Structure 1
């Protein structure tokens, strides 16, 4: 894995998100009540809605356009919705958010 420091945990609001631009495209970073951080595709699989503007609840995010709900862990749509979004390895080290950019670039190349 190729861990890259992309910012401070404090830059992501609790129960909120932050969009990050990379060479391979945009991703969304989500922070839960428990200070867990997840990285996913920044757009909804349904109609391309901006997931970083969605509502974070538990380990899920709801798209602001059509209320599709995704697991932040697996990227799978929840309930009656079918589809998924990409997820990426992310970790916290000393208050810094680290993203595995090699997995992001591998997704972009596929």
Structure 2
């Protein structure tokens, strides 16, 4: 497992997502309005939509291309017919840095 420091958690606005590169991997990191962090693959498995541009709410993200909805905790699709997202452990360090484990 590799660990990546993605910088300050403040780089991700509450209720939004942001795409990061961890080596060769692109990952979408989401920060809910409650301050929870989640990390998934960056593109929707259906049409490669940029998930970080989707609508985030209630620990879910809605793909901006076809409105498929995914549970950010599990990666499972909750609306639409699509494969499950890959998810990654992510946390905020004691200094406020986003730490991603892949």
Whichever structure has more helix as a proportion of its residues is: 1
Question: Is residue 97 of structure 1 aligned with residue 95 of structure 2?
Answer: no
Instruction: State the secondary structure of the residue aligned to 1:64.
Output: coil
Query: Number of residue pairs matched?
Result: 101
Using the TM superposition, give the Cα deviation of residue 77 of structure 1 relative to its aligned residue in structure 2, in angstroms.
0.6
| TM-score of the aligned structures, taking structure 2 as reference length | 0.91
The equivalent of 1:19 in structure 2 is: 19
Distance of 1:88 and 1:97 partners within structure 2: 12
Cα displacement (A) at 1:58: 1.2
Using the size of structure 1 for normalisation, the TM-score is 0.85
Segments of structure 1 that go 5 or more residues without pairing to the other structure are 104-110
Stretches of structure 2 that go unaligned for 5 or more consecutive residues are none
CA RMSD of aligned residues (A): 1.3
Q: Considering fraction of residues, name the structure with more strand.
A: 2
Where does structure 1 differ by over 4 angstroms across 4 or more consecutive aligned residues? none
Q: Distance in 2 between matches of 1:66 and 1:2?
A: 32
SS at match of 1:78: strand
